[in-house]
Structure 1
Amino acid sequence: MSKRFPPIHNQINPYRDNVQGKANEPICVAGLLDRAKQILGSSYGGPTPDWTLEEIYNRLEANAPRIAIIGGSADHPAHIMDFQTSSRAAIRIWQNGGVPFYFSTPVMCDGTAQSNQGMSYSLQSRNAVAQMVVNQMEAHSYHGAFVIQGCDKQPLGVVSALAHLDRIRRYRGEAPVFATFAPAHVLQGGTIPAELFAELEQVAKTAEEKGAPDIADDLRDAMAYILQCSSNTAFQGVLERAVDRGIISKTTHKEYEQRLAVATCDGKGGVCAFNGTGNSSRHLVAGLGLVHPAVELLTAPPAQERVNQVVDSLGTMINNPVFGTANVIAANIRNAIRIHSASGGSTNLMMHLVAAMLYGGYRFSLGELDRIHHEHPVPDLFDYSLTQGRDIFALAMQCCSGQSRGMETLFYELLQNGVPMDVDAPTVTGTTWRERLADQERLSAAHVKENPIILSTPRRPFSGVDVLTGNFFESAVVKISGMTTSQLDEFDKKVAFVLYFENEDDANRSLLDSHLLEKVKEAGTFPRETLLAVLRHNAPRHYEDWLALDADLLFERMVDSGELKISVVISGQGPIAFGMPEMFTPMQHINANRRLKRLAMLISDGRYSGVTYGAAIGHMTPEASEGGGILYLQTGDLLYLNLRERQIHFIDENALQSGKLAFSFEPVKAKRAELADRRLSAIRTRQRQVAASNRLTGHTDAANGVVPLSVWEEAVLDYKTDVTYAGPIRQASLDYGGDSSKK
């Protein structure tokens, strides 16, 4: 049985008062429904179609809920099956007495855009999506949305738009904007064909025979992963090094690339199975209360029954300010942050979550997000692995088979581990989390007996993304959940040499150079006296034994033992300078090099892909183009990596040689003023590679969501008080800066 939607309780109805919309739109609605029935074919289970132009006109006149089905572009794997899901949603909206519409937004695939100019548009696309959704919803006066949630920047772009629109509508005294999100199913990872696997193993053996065990080890590491677009980059790096060392030819390398690429993606698409920004967004949007559990984690596009559950739930949300999108996300903000942390979420979302709150009209920043993250310890409850069969597709299979309830299970396990969660926050089921969790069936993580991803017993007591501060910058982020405890120990409280690059292109060329460390040694880049000082701090047990070694041998010993630490710094990548591209590729080149990944961490004012793991620090503010401290660093400088205390400091080289840690940076800026000017000039020249129309000027910095200044200025509400947790269904009539809870 369909659930009849109530009309919108709103004095404003442009379709009633203006005939043009009622002349233009009925054919669009009828066309959508006709196509939906045709697409569904024999699976269409509804009554005889009754969507006449006259009936559509009457519903528009009567202010029946006008619900936009928002999809994405079919040139992104997450959206190639949108036509099916949108058809099911359109039919059910009509059956419930609503008026369905459909529009889509462009959706950039970050995998496709990696290491090309498109990465400079990736972050900007989030704000562009928000603008486009607001434009379309306002121009055609839609009341709510059924969102087919995709990947990369689309999910939080649409969340931001609908929260913003909800705030604007309530400011104008109109009905709240309601929305429900249906994430695209999870794309099954590929498998390396057996014949190709054998050939790659032979390459590894040849590498060993030719005295290149590092190539063999790194190639076998790549072969152990579930095949994903991201793992293809790891193969690329290792195979290029194999070509450089004469182990395979360039022709063979390109042949292997082709055979790996075509075996990577399942034909029905979906969100890639790694726990990157796409699936992190899935978890986080669910944590925001915006995803119905019927469609949260699927291995194929949702069947009609699941779509019906989602659409039917809208009936309890319509006209109720409790379920206005801005109110829902503010009520759930703590839940979302803790779910993001416990599930090892993407660093990208540290900006996107701040942005969504600002678009919703709430004062919020990276500092406030970090405060919530650390006000109560959040344990690591996500045992995700691409090498042991525990990707997000495996989690989706566990949910579809009835063993797990996805984020409801994670929510429950956080409660069981003593983490305070807002159980009375509203969700798009039309109920609170408390009501959802009252049904205990399949709720505990213990129901998954084989290869569980969500855990009852934490892997370790900390998780998530930490915010760092230091004496040469204001804020940066590091994905602690992407570092093993042993790796964290390897870098924590260590002194690292800076290896500085003015841009990603220069860094990639160097990181792919098989002889990078040898060139650094031969050039005397790190002086012997400073190497000894670093050794005395990082590994005092070796200091006396290695004190008499010459510079080259000392360098080699420190590399072999892992006591040499290098901070690969890539600057000039911030929002204003270059659109804040992801530094996935250089970090992947580090991770695909067994020797280098023990030594190097990467620091940038750019971003990282959600699938990035290892010692990666990004989002540094102020960015280089704004005169941030990262602009003044140079190769050979020393940084103190105090990761467990969430700090990185520039240290005085002379003091370290005297056996002391001295943190001082301000004098450096004065000494290197000319260097900074030259670099700023280079940044401005390089900036012209990005279209002027799409640059992120007039926006806040990474600590404040990278949103238009006007959005930031108008975000004045307090999410702790200006939020409604319960209330009767009634017309929303809120003053800007207030909320119904205060009426």
Structure 2
Amino acid sequence: MSNHSRKYSSRVVDGHARAPARAMLRATGFTDDDFHKPQVGIASTWSNLTPCNMHINGLAEEAARGADAAGGKSIIFNTITISDGIANGTEGMKYSLVSREIIADSIEAVAGCEGFDGLVAIGGCDKNMPGCLIGLARLNRPAVFVYGGTIMPGDNHTDIISVFEAVGAHAKGNMTAIEVKQIEDTAIPGPGACGGMYTANTMASAIEAMGMSLPGSSAQNATSQIKLEDCRRAGEAVLQLLKHNIRPSDIMTRPAFENAITLVIALGGSTNAVLHLLAMAHAVGVELTLDDFARIGKRVPVLADLRPSGHYMMAELVAIGGILPLMKTLLDAGLLHGDCLTVTGNTLGENLAGVLPYPPGQAIIRPLDNPIKADSHLRILYGNLAPGGAVAKITGKEGLSFTGPARVFDSEEETLARILDGTVQKGDVVVIRYEGPKGGPGMREMLSPTSAIMGRGLGKGVALITDGRFSGGSHGFVVGHITPEARQGGPLAIVQDGDRITIDAEHNRLELELTDSVIAERLARWQPPEPRYRRGVLAKYARTVGSASHGAVTDAHEGGR
């Protein structure tokens, strides 16, 4: 191996003075030969608390075998995961976005302390993906990300979103308790991340398009043999990256982020991709803004008929070839940068050179000349309600504009109760505020309210806006990430019941139909609410987190973003 292959581990284990370190490592199984090998940390997000991650211990072991067989010395360590599917709709969901930072911090801390020369990170649930990539970007050591894989569909083509929407259907009287129980019992059949083009599959696809995963990694079933092979190859690939000194900063360039955004749009992916890609770009020192999503969105169509807005699940896309044929189509159309370097050591264009098209007759991915939507479903909105920007997910199926009276709530729980009891009516614009990064704190996902709206049959009759965010499984006429958030004195804080609000996805506007003088008068009278937490991780997060329009990062330099 070249000298730079042991740039960090040599400082920890070489020389007489490092005998104590070697003694500790011998107890874990190191031999004399192992101290001369590059050390590869395997960051596992294994946990038995969620199906997204329950199998990742086995994947980590495969990645370790790959690294060892290629001449490295693997060391498996754990970082955390939480489960959005379990926590959604509860106070506990405030820890979800926070966990992205904890994952990044822990990977940085362990690898930085122990002197790993390279890394493999394996993620399953939503925040795992950006958390791992932020940690890898900060360290900037040769690394590969592996996605844990997607779950298989449940009975009758159900998934976790089917369960959430069943709750709303039951509240309306359209589904019996027994029917809800049947969906609950069978929608989640085993290991793997949630099955639609929700946040986990969205972010895994974006990371592959960016070049930080091996080709095909983002579109594999969690329990498949090919996923085990993906892990072994990832361990091997790190040794090649070490040999050639290829680091995340060489791969995660601005054009690579543009590739990620392009694929997210073509797949009809989650609004969370905006938040997470901004944060990942910040970690690697790439300038990326909301306006880049708007610019790219003007020329990239939505092509994938995938849940939540579409019909199919990720496992069905896997069965026809995954995302590689779609990426080849986008590349051939000039919509991807083919010269971007990837973790294979080759460019994206070289990786895609031999990819075959989808089989004839498939209906999951549309051709470019017959898109589901001619431009992006991710709309970046501005206006007097969102002077710092907001992110909408509007496929066009709900229409492109909505005007109605505000129905204002100061928490997710209050909103859900009023949706389920029928207070929220057709024509309303539901406003959920004080759920932003600082105000929540934690910027919870409004999956329970949006699912209840859909379940009650109000998907085309009610809009919802918030300074919180949405699950990748949310659909309907929804606008989130409104900045400045209410807790920071954004205009959302002074909206009152009955105020008329217009959402215009054609002109990308979010407007409160009040004069500037009335808005200014209300803001002058507004007082910020008391912090909800004064100690612990949520209090610390609220003090350090920045604007959602800049990725809600916690390590922006003073005076910066």
Distance of aligned partners of 1:452 and 1:516 in 2 relative to their CA distance in 1, 3 Å threshold? closer
Report what 1:233 is aligned to. Answer: 164
* Contact 2:63–2:233, Cα closer than 8 Å, also in 1: no
TM superposition shift of 1:690: 8.0
2:58 to 84, 93, 100: 84
* Contact 2:45–2:81, Cα closer than 8 Å, also in 1: no
Does residue 386 of structure 2 align to residue 476 of structure 1?
A: no
Aligned counterparts, 1:619-638, within 5 A: 619-638=481-500
Counterpart of 2:331, as a letter, is L
* Contact 1:275–1:610, Cα closer than 8 Å, also in 2: yes
Aligned counterparts, 1:360-379, within 5 A: 360-371=284-295, 373-374=296-297, 377-379=299-301
**Contiguous gaps of at least 5 residues in structure 1:** 31-52, 167-176, 193-225, 399-403, 518-558, 560-564, 653-663, 716-743
Report what 2:113 is aligned to. Answer: 139
2:213 to 291, 296, 302: 291
* Contact 2:405–2:428, Cα closer than 8 Å, also in 1: yes
Number of equivalences = 552
Aligned counterparts, 1:65-144, within 5 A: 65-144=39-118
Per the alignment, in what secondary structure is the counterpart of residue 364 of structure 2? coil
Counterpart of 1:433, as a letter, is L
* Contact 1:287–1:339, Cα closer than 8 Å, also in 2: yes
Partners of 1:386 and 1:640 lie apart in 2 by 24
Counterpart of 1:434, as a letter, is G
* Contact 2:305–2:311, Cα closer than 8 Å, also in 1: no
TM superposition shift of 1:103: 1.1
Partners of 2:443 and 2:557 lie apart in 1 by 19
Counterpart of 1:59, as a letter, is D
Does residue 452 of structure 2 align to residue 589 of structure 1?
A: yes
2:239 to 297, 315, 319: 315
Does residue 350 of structure 2 align to residue 426 of structure 1?
A: no
Partners of 1:313 and 1:143 lie apart in 2 by 13
Counterpart of 1:19, as a letter, is A
Partners of 2:436 and 2:310 lie apart in 1 by 35
Counterpart of 1:370, as a letter, is A
Does residue 428 of structure 2 align to residue 513 of structure 1?
A: no
Partners of 1:292 and 1:571 lie apart in 2 by 40
Aligned counterparts, 1:677-716, within 5 A: 677=527, 680-681=528-529, 684=530, 686-687=532-533, 692-710=538-556
Does residue 373 of structure 2 align to residue 460 of structure 1?
A: yes
Distance of aligned partners of 1:705 and 1:387 in 2 relative to their CA distance in 1, 3 Å threshold? closer
Partners of 2:33 and 2:193 lie apart in 1 by 39
Does residue 527 of structure 2 align to residue 665 of structure 1?
A: no
Does residue 194 of structure 2 align to residue 279 of structure 1?
A: no
TM superposition shift of 1:495: 3.1
* Contact 2:216–2:324, Cα closer than 8 Å, also in 1: no
Calculate the TM-score normalised by the size of structure 1: 0.70
* Contact 1:390–1:453, Cα closer than 8 Å, also in 2: no
* Contact 2:211–2:341, Cα closer than 8 Å, also in 1: yes
Partners of 2:360 and 2:2 lie apart in 1 by 38
Partners of 2:535 and 2:407 lie apart in 1 by 25
Per the alignment, in what secondary structure is the counterpart of residue 107 of structure 1? coil
Distance of aligned partners of 1:332 and 1:161 in 2 relative to their CA distance in 1, 3 Å threshold? same
- For residues 214-247 of structure 1, give each alpha carbon's deviation from its aligned partner in whole angstroms, at most 9, with x where no partner exists: xxxxxxxxxxxx32122111111221332xxxx9
Does residue 328 of structure 2 align to residue 412 of structure 1?
A: yes
Partners of 1:470 and 1:608 lie apart in 2 by 20
* Contact 1:370–1:466, Cα closer than 8 Å, also in 2: yes
Per the alignment, in what secondary structure is the counterpart of residue 697 of structure 1? helix
Does residue 334 of structure 2 align to residue 488 of structure 1?
A: no
Aligned counterparts, 1:30-45, within 5 A: 30=29
Counterpart of 2:7, as a letter, is N
Counterpart of 1:488, as a letter, is G
Counterpart of 2:465, as a letter, is I
Partners of 1:329 and 1:584 lie apart in 2 by 31
* Contact 1:6–1:65, Cα closer than 8 Å, also in 2: no
Distance of aligned partners of 1:309 and 1:276 in 2 relative to their CA distance in 1, 3 Å threshold? same
Counterpart of 1:24, as a letter, is M
TM superposition shift of 1:685: 5.6
Partners of 1:7 and 1:641 lie apart in 2 by 54
Distance of aligned partners of 1:153 and 1:412 in 2 relative to their CA distance in 1, 3 Å threshold? same
Larger radius of gyration between Structure 1 and Structure 2: 1
**Contiguous gaps of at least 5 residues in structure 2:** none
Distance of aligned partners of 1:690 and 1:611 in 2 relative to their CA distance in 1, 3 Å threshold? farther
1:571 to 400, 409, 433: 433
Per the alignment, in what secondary structure is the counterpart of residue 380 of structure 2? strand
Counterpart of 1:498, as a letter, is A
Counterpart of 2:144, as a letter, is T
Per the alignment, in what secondary structure is the counterpart of residue 105 of structure 2? helix
Does residue 221 of structure 2 align to residue 324 of structure 1?
A: no
Report what 2:153 is aligned to. Answer: 189
Distance of aligned partners of 1:5 and 1:714 in 2 relative to their CA distance in 1, 3 Å threshold? farther
* Contact 1:427–1:433, Cα closer than 8 Å, also in 2: yes
Counterpart of 2:257, as a letter, is I
Counterpart of 1:396, as a letter, is V
TM superposition shift of 1:362: 2.7
Report what 2:13 is aligned to. Answer: 15
* Contact 2:205–2:219, Cα closer than 8 Å, also in 1: no
Partners of 2:495 and 2:423 lie apart in 1 by 24
Distance of aligned partners of 1:317 and 1:366 in 2 relative to their CA distance in 1, 3 Å threshold? same
TM superposition shift of 1:642: 2.1
2:305 to 369, 373, 383: 383
Counterpart of 1:513, as a letter, is D
Report what 1:38 is aligned to. Answer: none
- For residues 619-652 of structure 1, give each alpha carbon's deviation from its aligned partner in whole angstroms, at most 9, with x where no partner exists: 0001111000000100111123322110122224
* Contact 2:67–2:239, Cα closer than 8 Å, also in 1: no
